Amino acid sequence: MSYKKAVLLFAFAFILQLSMINLINIKGVVPDLTLCIVIMITFLFEDGFRYAAIGIISALLLDLCTGQYVGISSIGMIIIMAGTVLLRRSMNRENKLSFVIVTAAGTFIYNLFCWIFMAMLNDPTSILYVLMYQPFYMAYNIAFSFILYLFMIKKAVRHRNDRYFV
């Protein structure tokens, strides 16, 4: 993946997140496209953390446009990138279940981190409220990420399931 493609992908997600994605909400829950792309790029590509850094900038711009506080999403993206890089070493990129597990865990940790940070800044949102909507966030992010995974796995792994590929 080149930097041009990564910038275009994050720009498209940024515009879609601010405009069209709210039309397909379920109980007020929408997928976090930037988070999904950061997890997907970091998990699939060897040097994905370099391209996912563009996602940090995208998260910062989203915070500027829609967030109550600026920078919380960017810090959360850094934590998710680090966790995904660590998980990537022990999981198979070609296995779809591995990707689903990483996406679900990344979504949960990201939302929990954002809640903790907001609670430190005296946000009145209860943890029970966050956990109540967590299955919807996970399902939405998994669905969107899985669609991206099916398109991007061909680019990330050249010879899939080839036992002679070194």
Q: Identity (one letter) of the amino acid at 31?
A: P
In a domain, 88, yes or no: yes
The one-digit pLDDT tens for each residue of the chain (166 residues) are 788 888 999 999 999 999 888 888 888 889 999 999 999 999 988 887 788 788 889 999 999 998 788 889 999 999 999 999 998 888 888 888 999 999 999 999 999 999 999 999 988 889 999 899 999 999 999 999 999 888 888 776 655 554 554 4
State the residue range of the domain holding 57: 3-156
In a domain, 135, yes or no: yes
Has this prediction a pTM greater than 0.85? Answer: yes
Report the number of distinct structural domains present in the chain: 1
127, part of any domain: yes
Alpha carbons 78 and 138: distance in angstroms, whole number: 19
Domain assignment present for 165: no
Confirm whether 76 is domain-assigned.
yes
Q: What are phi and psi of 37, to 5 degrees?
A: -70, -40
Residue 74 placed within a domain: yes
